[in-house]
Amino acid sequence: MSPTVETLEAMERPPVTMGSRIEGELLEVSIGPQHPSTHGVFRMNVALEGEIVRKLKPVFGYLHRNHEKIGENTSYLGSMPYTDRLDYFCSMTNNWAYALSVEKLAGIEVPERAQYLRVILAELTRLQNHASLLGFLLNDMGAWGTPLMYAFREREKILDLFESLSGSRMMCDYMRFGGCRCDTPPGWMEQAKKIVDRFPRFINELEQLVVGNEVVIGRTQNVGVLSPELAINAGITGPMLRACGVNYDIRKVDGYGFYPRFKFRIPLGEHGDSYDRLMLRVLEMRESLSILQQAFAQIQPGPIVNPKVKIRAFRPPAGEAYGRIEGPKGELGFYLISDGGPNPYRYRVRPPSFINLTVLEDLCLGNTVADVMVILGSVDIVMGEVDR
Amino acid sequence: MIGTGILKGMAVTARNFVGSYFDKERLITVQYPEERDPLPENYRNFPFLIHDGDDQHAGLRCVACKICEKECPPQCIYIVKSDDKKPDYMGKPQFYPKVFDIDISVCMSCQICVEVCPFEAIKMDKDFELSKRERFDALLLRKDELSKSNEYYHKIHPIEAAAVDKNLADAAAAAEAKKKAAAEAAAKAAAAKAASGGGAGSFPGKLTASPKAEIPGSTSARAPTNSLASSGSSSTPASS
Amino acid sequence: MESLEQIKARIEAAIPEAKIELMPNPGPANQPSLLIDNEHARDIARFLRVDPALRLDFCSNVTGIDWLDRVVKKTVKVKTVVDGQEKELDQTTEEKTPGYLEAVYHLYSMTHKHGPVIIRLRTADRGDGARLPSLTPVWRSAEFQEREIFDLYGIRFDGHLDLRRILMWDEFQDHPMRKDYCEPDDYEWEPTPHDDVAEKAKQHYPPRPQLDGAEKITGQEETLKH
């Protein structure tokens, strides 16, 4: 898998299509910010020759809220609710990434039960994210909403779990530095176990809908093929990278949290096309279920938060830290620089969707406009994270 | 044969469609507003202030310490401290808020104000049917709209309210016990002094054992007992 | 993975004119970084990517940082002669460090699964002409991130093929993430609890008439007049 020096040198030649001006006899179309299939306010300037895409320039920033500047003006704890709103589908993993970075910065330890709870919530988040992604992708391909509703039916069960635990379905604000905010209410574990036990039935149905379906196969196979060398160089992470065959999962590489205690496999794709990205997410859902079963078996009652951490006037020592997790969309990292004060000096989010969009043009060249939607759906972007 | 994949998918759709007539799990539509799903205990929407008893003004727990205003991330709380004091539930005179506004068009229901309040005065409400007819003044909730009684809090969050009441009762009992112990100690000291020195210089028995009132918002996360354990004053033992 | 001192030694052996400094990182995180000079940045980056022991082929994160002018007060005890007696007095010296802009690269390796190696590039000052070499030809993942740093901080990257604004719109003038950025104050006018925001906003709009005069029309007077 390791690229040779020759291929690296070859990649350093700039690709021919870079440049911001699109001109000539090509038809310029703006697949505009308001579009039902672009996963948010996202715009693509495409230059078409007939139906074939010759140039594609993504334009975003419509949802830019300057989240990093807000982070510089808010205390460490006050930034936690803002991290929910980055990738608004996966608020628990965003919270965990931020809490991990602050714990690295300040050297805080996390008790056992909190670590298990974090793993459980992160895997539940991964389940509902992949389910809704598949639903949206099938929706974009023309299955008018039915698979989306099946996926959302399962997602609602998981969101009900989040609501009874943290108080809010999506903007959970649940992790704290040194643990979690509050303990599970009575009956929550049994409810979660029940949902996880019944989830394979949904994945089986989804596989029956998707795997053999000729329309899906025709629209996604060999569409948007990404080579592993380009993926590594362009900083692609997450299911998009593993669909090309590169075995890099931060849960195994960094071993953060209690992931080393669980046995799970990393599914890898072979061709790097949209079909592989689709099927990889289905396989990842099954692996998440196995992690959840193991976590439910191992979790014990205990303290939920490190008692030495102050809630108010929390001042980590001066220094900097970069903490990252394997979010459902890729590597989500937070880079914090502290100067000893109550607010961070620099607060940076490494957004996986933003960086995964680097190769969008390369994937779409030579394909038709209809394929652009399929490729964009398989990249899995959320504008809250792309624009911050 | 080509098309078997699509047919298998159609079988799934048919199973879901027919099953929705028989299986509760497949039919998930809730006919709102005629039927409503019950909200879980922990559900939170916007904050509200608690007052004990019936009088909104006299029983208000908030002492205008302004910690929630400082910690609120979008800064939607606006407090003006009063000039006079009124007695709180333990009898100690405390400030109270003259103005307490929450702008719920800005509030993001993050619950940080609840976490940092040392006096258990602000909690999360559950009401979400809050549509108004205009965007500006109606979405700025003032103190009288925000104050709700402790019974209301018990109704919406029974387990949490029971825990809070237990905490406050424990704090009051601890303060009482400390006061009694201090009074006994002072009486013993005065008696010893009378026995030995003949009661010279009857300085009014300052309670040497009175615990210091802790600054609100000290380190522990969930400890209203610390700041409320400041004892009252009085009960000077009369020296002979 | 080798320690940062060993990596520094090997880079200096491979590229002799490079000036590299090890920046320690106080605190429990233990992530020190290497400050490299701008002329040899691309060569050093290529070495880091190609070297068989390191093989840092994954550039995970590119961050821009705005460091303001800092004044560091140092108090030193100095022996001076006062009134014929030797005394030890405190002498405070002020060290002025001029501000600069910085780009920090977090590098990992997907082949060897180690990291991070953190490298920093600094500009000379915070002025408008701040330029840094672009590392996009070495790692393509820096493409969008360097565009974002140009947009939000104003650092121009030489060698980047498509340097234009990415998050703000193209005609926007200022650089929002700088520490001395002033927000525009013509918000949509709404009465918030914080009066100074409302006052600032009111400066921009003509005073709104509370009533439009329609209440003065009663109908009867008009007909009488005519």
- Are A27 and C153 in contact by the 8 Å Cβ rule? The answer is no
Per DSSP bridges, beta strands A43-49 and A319-327 are unpaired
Residues in Cβ contact with A256 at an 8 Å cutoff, skipping those fewer than 6 apart: A100, A250, A323, A325
CB within 8 Å of chain B, chain C residues 192-221 = 192-194
Confidence check: pLDDT of A99 > 70: yes
CA–CA gap between residue B227 and residue C91 (Å, rounded): 43
Half-sphere exposure of B109 (CA within 13 A, CB side): 19
Q: How far is B39 from chain A (nearest CA, A)?
A: 8
CB pairs under 8 A between B and C: 16
CB atoms under 10 Å from CB of C75, counted, come to: 9
Residue C91 counted as domain residue: no
C105 and C198 in a common domain:
no
Q: For A40-46, what is the mean pLDDT?
A: 89
pLDDT at position B4? 82
Name the neighbours of B, counting chains with at least 3 Cβ pairs within 8 A. Answer: A, C
Q: How far is C60 from chain A (nearest CA, A)?
A: 6
Closest residue in chain A to residue C143, using alpha carbons only: A358
- Are C109 and C63 in contact by the 8 Å Cβ rule? The answer is no
Give the residue carrying structure tokens 């379906």: A213
- Cα A187 to chain centroid distance, Å, stands at 29
Q: What is the CA radius of gyration of chain C?
A: 29
Of the residues C104, C144, C170, the best mutation for testing chain A's interface (the one with the most A CB atoms within 10 Å of its CB) is C144
pLDDT at position A347? 93
Of the residues C163, C167, C171, the best mutation for testing chain A's interface (the one with the most A CB atoms within 10 Å of its CB) is C167
Q: How far is C170 from chain A (nearest CA, A)?
A: 11
Confidence check: pLDDT of A121 > 70: yes
Which residue spans within chain B are E strands per DSSP?
47-51, 77-87, 93-103, 122-124, 140-141, 147-149
Q: How far is B221 from chain C (nearest CA, A)?
A: 24
Between B237 and A290, whose confidence is greater?
A290
Confidence check: pLDDT of A81 > 90: yes
Q: For B157-173, what is the mean pLDDT?
A: 86
Give the residue carrying structure tokens 């052996």: C13
Q: For A269-276, what is the mean pLDDT?
A: 90
Which residues of chain B are within 8 Å of residue C189 when distances are taken between CB atoms? none
Number of domain units in chain C: 2
CB contact under 8 A, C27 and A331: no
Confidence check: pLDDT of C72 > 80: no
On the question of a cis peptide bond just before residue B33, with omega within 30 degrees of 0, the verdict is yes
Identity of residue B3: G
Confidence check: pLDDT of A24 > 70: no
In order, the DSSP letters of A237-262 are -THHHHTTT----HHHHT--TTGGGS
Q: How confident is the model at residue B229 (pLDDT cuts 50, 70, 90)?
A: very low
pLDDT at position C205? 66
CB contact under 8 A, B137 and C191: yes
CB contact under 8 A, C145 and A318: no
**What are the structure tokens assigned to A333, written together?**
């990292």
C112 and C49 in a common domain:
yes
CB contact under 8 A, C167 and A60: yes
Confidence check: pLDDT of C226 > 50: no
- 3-class SS of residue C61: strand
Between B138 and B79, whose confidence is greater?
B79
Q: How confident is the model at residue B12 (pLDDT cuts 50, 70, 90)?
A: confident
ipTM exceeding 0.90, yes/no: no
C128 and C106 in a common domain:
yes
* Dihedral Cα A334, A340, A344, A346, nearest 10 deg: -70
- Are A322 and A101 in contact by the 8 Å Cβ rule? The answer is yes
- Are A55 and A361 in contact by the 8 Å Cβ rule? The answer is yes
Give the residue carrying structure tokens 């980047």: C160
Confidence check: pLDDT of C76 > 90: no
CA distances from A204 to A207, B8, C31, C106 (A): 5, 12, 45, 40
Q: How confident is the model at residue C188 (pLDDT cuts 50, 70, 90)?
A: low
pLDDT at position C211? 59
Residue B165 forms contact with C (CB below 8 Å): no
pTM of this prediction?
A: 0.84
pLDDT at position A325? 93
CA–CA gap between residue C103 and residue C114 (Å, rounded): 22
Confidence check: pLDDT of B33 > 80: yes
CA–CA gap between residue B195 and residue B175 (Å, rounded): 30
pLDDT at position C81? 67
- Are A45 and A56 in contact by the 8 Å Cβ rule? The answer is yes
C193 and C127 in a common domain:
no
Which residue spans within chain A are E strands per DSSP?
27-31, 43-49, 52-59, 175-176, 179-180, 319-327, 330-338, 346-350
DSSP C189: -
Confidence check: pLDDT of C97 > 70: yes
Q: Which of C170, C56, C183 is nearest to C118 (CA)?
A: C56
Closest residue in chain A to residue C68, using alpha carbons only: A345
Q: For B114-135, what is the mean pLDDT?
A: 87
Select the residue of B78, B135, B137 nearest C194 (Cβ to Cβ): B78
Residue B42 forms contact with A (CB below 8 Å): yes
CA–CA gap between residue C163 and residue C150 (Å, rounded): 8
Closest residue in chain C to residue B106, using alpha carbons only: C192
The residues facing B43 across adjacent strands are none
DSSP B62: -
Q: In chain A, what are the domain boundaries?
A: 5-59, 67-387
Which residues of chain A are within 8 Å of residue C26 when distances are taken between CB atoms? 317-319
CA–CA gap between residue C60 and residue A122 (Å, rounded): 22
C149 and C122 in a common domain:
yes
pLDDT at position A281? 92
Select the residue of A106, A348, A388 nearest C63 (Cβ to Cβ): A348
Closest residue in chain A to residue C159, using alpha carbons only: A14
CATH number of A67-387: 1.10.645.10
- 3-class SS of residue C26: coil
CB contact under 8 A, B75 and C191: no
Confidence check: pLDDT of A286 > 80: yes
Residue C107 counted as domain residue: yes
Per DSSP bridges, beta strands B47-51 and B147-149 are parallel
Between A139 and B238, whose confidence is greater?
A139
Which residues of chain A are within 8 Å of residue B13 when distances are taken between CB atoms? 146, 209
Q: Which residue range(s) make up the domain with C23?
A: 4-67+100-170
CB contact under 8 A, B12 and A312: no
Between C81 and A140, whose confidence is greater?
A140
Residues in Cβ contact with B175 at an 8 Å cutoff, skipping those fewer than 6 apart: B90, B228, B229, B230, B231, B232
CB contact under 8 A, A185 and B8: no
CA–CA gap between residue A342 and residue A339 (Å, rounded): 9
Q: What is the pLDDT of residues C8-60, one digit of tens each?
A: 888 888 888 888 888 888 888 888 889 998 888 888 999 999 888 888 989 99
**Longest Cα–Cα distance in chain B:** 114
Between A273 and C194, whose confidence is greater?
A273
Average of per-residue pLDDT values in chain B: 77
Phi, psi of A174 (to 5 degrees): -105, -35
Which residues of chain A are within 8 Å of residue C63 when distances are taken between CB atoms? 335, 346, 348
On the question of a cis peptide bond just before residue C116, with omega within 30 degrees of 0, the verdict is yes
Q: How confident is the model at residue C169 (pLDDT cuts 50, 70, 90)?
A: confident
Q: For B179-186, what is the mean pLDDT?
A: 87
Which residues of chain B are within 8 Å of residue C192 when distances are taken between CB atoms? 103, 106
pLDDT at position B238? 37
- 3-class SS of residue C64: strand
Q: What is the pLDDT of residues B42-97, one digit of tens each?
A: 899 999 999 888 888 888 888 888 899 889 998 889 898 888 887 776 677 888 88
User: What percent of chain A shows pLDDT beyond 90?
Assistant: 50
Residue C125 counted as domain residue: yes
Select the residue of B5, B11, B40 nearest A214 (Cβ to Cβ): B5
- Cα A142 to chain centroid distance, Å, stands at 24
pLDDT at position C219? 54
Confidence check: pLDDT of A298 > 50: yes
Q: What is the pLDDT of residues A207-240, one digit of tens each?
A: 888 888 888 888 888 888 999 999 999 999 999 9
Q: First CA to last CA across chain B, in angstroms?
A: 110
Identity of residue C196: D
Name the neighbours of A, counting chains with at least 3 Cβ pairs within 8 A. Answer: B, C
**What are the structure tokens assigned to A129, written together?**
């994210």
pLDDT at position C223? 45
- Are C94 and C73 in contact by the 8 Å Cβ rule? The answer is yes
CATH number reported for the structural domain that contains residue C40 in this entry: 3.30.460.80
Q: How confident is the model at residue C105 (pLDDT cuts 50, 70, 90)?
A: very high
CB contact under 8 A, B219 and A171: no
Residue-range domains of chain B with CATH = 43-196+205-235 (3.30.70.3270)
C162 and C209 in a common domain:
no
CB atoms under 10 Å from CB of C184, counted, come to: 8
C139 and C110 in a common domain:
yes
Residue B9 forms contact with A (CB below 8 Å): yes
- Are C119 and C42 in contact by the 8 Å Cβ rule? The answer is no
- 3-class SS of residue A103: helix
